[in-house]
Structure 1
Amino acid sequence: MGISNKMHEGVYMCVFGPTFDTISEDRALRLLGADVLGMSLTAETIVAHHCGMKVLAISLVTNRCTFERGKPQSSHQEVLQAGLESSETIAMLITQILEKL
């Protein structure tokens, strides 16, 4: 697809929001095997599957977890900017997936 170096497979851990994760949460969930934390996707996927729908889930990681005190956490503006910067890549991925259906 031309974007394979930007795609990764891992363990998605759902957390409740809408708040950013804390350092303690990041550490604990990492110990449990989480590669990525997110506030959405899981509930919607469960409901869709329950309704008999086929589901393809794509997540865009927009900030890194902070594991050490004193290191800056991502701001809301930084998260929005990261999403904006990746919008063309995500659009290309979705277009290529739809073309193969």
Structure 2
Amino acid sequence: MMCEVMPTINEDTPMSQRGSQSSGSDSDSHFEQLMVNMLDERDRLLDTLRETQESLSLAQQRLQDVIYDRDSLQRQLNSALPQFVGFPVEVNIEDEFERGWISGMLG
């Protein structure tokens, strides 16, 4: 007759932990790896966030510079525009005068 020997059961541990004692170290190492992965991912995301914030800051500064340049050019254009509004008419009158004068001298 064969007799099977059952493993001893420690009476100090609760029932829910008895089956998981052998896999406890596996789950601990898995949990630690999960935490390390999460921390690495957090660091990577923080680096990306920092780079994106720097890029946004540079883009906003460039936008402010472009707006300033645009406004400056607009002011220059507005101050010079009245001079050029009448300019083509004056040129045409002068051209007609010169043509008439030159043709009068030649004819």
Return the TM-score normalized by structure 1. 0.23
Instruction: Give the structure with the higher percent helix.
Output: 2
Return the TM-score normalized by structure 2. 0.22
Instruction: Give the structure with the higher percent strand.
Output: 1
Structure with the greater relative contact order (CA < 8 A, sep ≥ 6): 1 or 2? 1
